[in-house]
Amino acid sequence: MALTGVEIFKLLPKTNCKKCGHPTCLAFAMKLAQRQASLDACPDVSEEAKKILGEASAPPIRPITIGVGDKAVKMGEETVLFRHEKKFVNPCVFAVEINDSMSDEEINKMVDDVLSSEIDRVGQKLRIDAIFVNNVSNDAGRFESVVMAIASKAPAVPLIIATNNPDAAMVAVKAVADKKPLLYGANESNVEAMANIAKTYKTSLGVTAKGLDALSILTEKIKGLGVDDIVVDHGARSAKEILEANTYIRRAAIKKNFKALGYPVINFAQRDDRVLESLVATLGVTKYASIVVLGSIEKWKNLALFTLRQNIYTDPQVPMQVEQKIYKIGEPTPESPLTITTNFSLTYFIVSGEIENSKVPCRLAVMDCEGLSVLTAWAAGKFTASKIAQFIQESGIENEIKHRELIIPGYVAILSGAIEDKLPGWKVIVGPREANGIPAFLRSKVSQ
């Protein structure tokens, strides 16, 4: 449970020496309680106070990172149950299962699919984040060689080493220890050996148990064995049980500050029916999974799941937006068309994508409307004739282009007369309503 300012104050040296930059220990304590200061600023705080305060101020769900470098993924640190309260923090990781009894050919193909899974959507690069290598063969030698083969083919992709056999775990983790994999498969019967491997090679440890009571006993035990970075699997596999267990874990962590389950959760969504698998993954994304393991990664499924994750993890207060300016698409000349839209990321990326498709060099004026879409901005009075006129005049575009024609989105055709009134000398042309009409429209326009 988070401590109050007064409770924190009791643990400070109470000398009011000001070395922390605050006039009194009490003032500093208040800032700490609001998480606006860091305990390090006080040089005189006791070791014991550090320990108590450190635990109390730790986030309710422990941050865990797997992998190294650019493609490392961070999980945990969530602070709320519902996304409208506050932004969800670390988007859940999508991992695909590769099992070591598959043929080398099949394995190669799947790794290729992971490597080519990256998609650009609304300015973000989205991909299958990790590979879950499952020791189905139960053969340590085979497992080690598969893990090594995957690691050399996909050196940057974070790995989850999945086995409950400590001998297999030992050789596989040892082979890729420098990549900070997650070792998954600790359970009641192997916990000492698995914790020992995780500790020796400094990896995080995935633990599974049937039931949340048994699970919390195991995480405490693992912590006692010296491993702090834990990922939990509650063992539920049907949608109903997953929802129940994920909800209880998230609530216990956030509302009760129950440390023994304050860890990222891994869910398994694999189903023979691939569309159904997408829906079980949807449950994971919306309801509290930090890792969702998939059985296959068809491009169509990835696109839907990446998009869902992006939607659920956007900031509910601030829409995703792009900078206000006049973007050049292709290599426009002073004669090239000038189009205008709002600065909502989604709008910008859709429209600029379609202009690119048209192969007609073009300027796209993007106006700051606080990240609202065209119609929303219009309805909210932010994309109005006078604001558009002012933006065009102040942009300096009149010095860059020879013509005086402005193409506006079809949905705001109603603005055309008023813009012409406010922008003397300009002609307003109404474009198509939907962006997918832009290529044909621009092509016919320049061929005139």
Partner 1 sequence: MAFAAPKETYSGKVFEVVIGTDKAVAFGGENVLPFHSFEGNVPHRPVIAYEIQDIPPDDWPETVKKVYGSVSGDPVTWAKYCQDTLNAKAIALRLLSTHPDRENRSPEDAAKTVKDVLSAINIPLIILGSNHVEKDSSVLVAVSEAAKDKNCVIGKAQEGNYKTIAAAAMANNHKLIAMSELDINLSKQLNILITQMGFDKEKLITDPMCSALGYGLEYTYSVMERIRLAALTQNDATMQPPMLADVGMYVWKIKETQASEAELPAWGSLEERGITWEAVTAASLLMSGAELLIMRHPDAVKAVEKFIDELM
Residues forming the site for ligand B12 (CB under 6 A): 319, 339, 341, 344, 346-347, 350-351, 371-376, 378-380, 407-411, 431-432, 434-435, 438
Determine contact, residues 287/247, Cβ cutoff 8 Å. Answer: yes
How far is the C-alpha of 160 from the C-alpha of 379, rounded, in Å?
A: 48
- Asked if 38 interacts with ligand SF4 (CB under 6 A), we say no
Which option in ligand B12, partner 1, ligand SF4, none does residue 316 bind, with CB closer than 5 to 8 A by kind? partner 1
Question: Is residue 180 left, alpha or beta, with left meaning phi > 0 and alpha meaning psi from -120 to 50?
Answer: left
22 binds ligand SF4 (CB under 6 A): yes
Tell me if 280 contacts partner 1 by CB under 8 A. Answer: yes
Determine if residue 369 is labeled as part of a ligand binding site.
no
Q: Say whether residue 180 binds ligand SF4 (CB under 6 A).
A: no
Nearer to ligand SF4 among residue 4 and residue 386 (C-beta)? 4
**Partner in contact with 230, chosen from ligand B12, partner 1, ligand SF4, none, beta carbon below 5 to 8 Å by kind:** none
Cα→Cα distances 235→185, 232, 346, Å: 11, 9, 38
Residue 39 interacts with partner 1 (CB under 8 A): yes or no: no
Applying CB under 8 A, which of residues 75, 212, 372, 385 lies at the interface with partner 1? 212
Contacts of 99 (CB under 8 A, 6+ apart): 133, 134, 135, 136, 137
User: 90 or 342, CB closer to ligand B12?
Assistant: 342
Q: How many helices (H) and strands (E) does the chain have?
A: 16, 17
49-77 CB burial, b ≥16 within 10 A, e <16: beeebeebeeebbbbbbbbeeeeebbbbb
The interface with ligand SF4 within residues 226-255 (CB under 6 A) comprises none
With CB under 8 A as the contact rule, the residue among 274, 382, 387, 404 that binds partner 1 is 274
260 contributes a contact to partner 1 by CB under 8 A: yes
Q: Using the rule CB under 6 A, is 309 a contact of ligand SF4?
A: no
* 18, 255, 299, 403: which one binds ligand SF4 (CB under 6 A): 18
**Three-state DSSP state, 89:** coil
Dihedral sign, CA of 414, 419, 424, 429?
Answer: negative
Restricting to residues 70-129, which ones interact with partner 1 according to CB under 8 A?
82-84, 119, 121
Reduced to 3 states (helix: H, G, I; strand: E, B; else coil), residue 66 is: strand
- CA-nearest of 295, 235, 240 to 265 is 235
Q: Site for ligand SF4 (CB under 6 A): which residue of 3, 8, 30, 42?
A: 42
d(CA 182, CA 202): 10
What's the CA gap between 345 and 128, in Å, rounded? Answer: 23
Report the chain's terminal Cα–Cα distance, integer Å: 70
For the bound state, the minimum distance from the C-beta of residue 57 to ligand SF4, rounded and expressed in Å, comes to: 15
* Positions at the binding site for [4Fe-4S] cluster: 17, 20, 25, 42
Which residues are near partner 1 by CB under 8 A? 82-84, 119, 121, 212-213, 215-216, 220, 238-240, 243-244, 247-248, 251-252, 255-256, 258-261, 273-276, 278-280, 282-283, 285-287, 298-305, 307-308, 310-312, 314, 316, 346, 350, 373, 435-436
